[in-house]
Amino acid sequence: MRLAWHSGFASRARARLGGLGSIIMLHRVRPDCTSPLGVNRSLSISPAFLDKILVSLKSEDIELVSMDDAVARIKSGSQGGKRFAAVTLDDGYSDNLHHAYPVFQKHRAPFTIYTTPGLVDGAAVLWWEVLELLVAKADFIKAPNGQEWRCVTMFQKRATFYALMRYFTETLTELQQIPVLQQLCETHGLICGVPADRDVMSWKELRQIASDPLCTIGAHTIHHYNLKRLTAEMVSFEMRQSADMLEEKLGKRPVHFAYPYGSAKAAGEREAILAAQEGFASAVTTRHGTIHAEHRAHMHILPRISINGRFQELVYAKTMMSGATTPIANAGRRVVQA
């Protein structure tokens, strides 16, 4: 990416590949971006880096817009005006309020938080974070199916974490994940939740941030399940129920949706059809890509540009938003949809 930028390839690519703009994906924004095993490190960027990104976007005359505006621009398909960037944050981490919000306020930058009511109420758990704490603490882990992992050294711990991720996302069903995690936590003397400072926003905090016109609240299902692993009825339920609950708690029905995990393994054509049927104006994935006029016909499977906490350098973000990396990440395709 450095080469793409410094050789001028990215800036030349921008005219053809940059399209109408980008939907930026973030998760956590906090000063301390460490994670015990480093495995969830990519999910966090610092408030200072967020500030840098917003300064850079403005200096390049890119307009910071809400998801409502992004949708309007995609529908109109106008290439004539300025390119846009819509900043989105998944899962509703409390650091969004404490550390990201002040930066958005400073720049008067609109942002969207895709919120999971189950995470707020405790029906769902940030299980990838709990799993990291569990592996950091334990020297030996035995899964209910008899699989065992020795995890004493950092190398073993990281390998165990990824093995357990596969076990949780491929062997277990979505509905089995939390009960099994709870059982493992009990065995190792951990509470199956995360400490308050790593947690998600409460309803009170969500109401606070949602009251700012800069903030849009989007839906992100109730339980944060991989929707491709559920029946169509369950998918529709997760979508509708999360919008219902957010409307009930925050007084406004969300019209934008993000697929949990959002990869090709977690959201596809069936999910896009169901999101449209549930009345969402847009639905975003975690697939890599910039936004083009052609996306007008694919409003429920929009790609995003993920800002990875492992590489907090402006040159990466700028190169990705130029569109130069879109064909590289997508087998040569300029326009990424299902």
Q: Which residue is nearest to Zn ion (CB)?
A: 90
Nearer to Zn ion, 5 or 225 (CB): 225
CB atoms within 10 A of CB 252: 11
The distance of closest approach from Cβ of residue 124 to Zn ion in the complex, given in angstroms and rounded to an integer, is 10
C-beta pairs of 122-128 under 8 Å, 24+ apart in sequence: 122/193, 123/222, 123/223, 124/178, 124/222, 124/223, 124/224, 125/178, 125/181, 125/192, 125/193, 125/194, 126/91, 126/194, 126/198, 126/199, 126/200, 127/168, 127/177, 127/178, 127/181, 128/40, 128/165
Q: Which listed range, 104-112, 252-260, 306-314, 328-336, lies at the site for Zn ion (CB under 5 A)?
A: 252-260
Size of the site for Zn ion (CB under 5 A): 3
For 188-200, letters b (16+ CB in 10 Å) and e give eebebbbeeebbb
Nearer to Zn ion, 1 or 43 (CB): 43
CB of 93 to Zn ion, least distance (A): 10
DSSP for 139-192, written as a single string: SEEE-TTS-EEE--SHHHHHHHHHHHHHIIIIIS-GGGHHHHHHHHHHHTT--S
Name residue 84's beta-bridge partners: 21, 63
Closest to Zn ion by CB, 260 or 289: 260
Q: Which residues, numbered 47-76, are part of the site for Zn ion (CB under 5 A)?
A: none
Q: Which of residues 82-111 bind Zn ion (CB under 5 A)?
A: 90-91
Instruction: State the nearest-atom distance from the C-beta of 196 to Zn ion, in Å.
Output: 20
Contacts (CB under 5 A) with Zn ion, residues 256-275: 260
| Shortest reach from residue 204's CB to Zn ion, in Å | 21
Q: How far is the CB of 178 from Zn ion (least distance, A)?
A: 15
Between 218 and 260, CB nearer to Zn ion: 260
Query: What is the smallest separation between the CB atom of 27 and Zn ion, expressed in angstroms?
Result: 7
User: In the complex with Zn ion, which residue's Cβ is closer, 193 or 327?
Assistant: 193
* Nearer CB in complex with Zn ion: 51/121: 121
Q: Which is nearer to Zn ion, 154 or 175 (CB)?
A: 175
Residue 238 found at the interface with Zn ion (CB under 5 A): no
3-state SS assignment for residue 21: strand
Provide the binding-site residues for Zn ion, judged by CB under 5 A.
90-91, 260
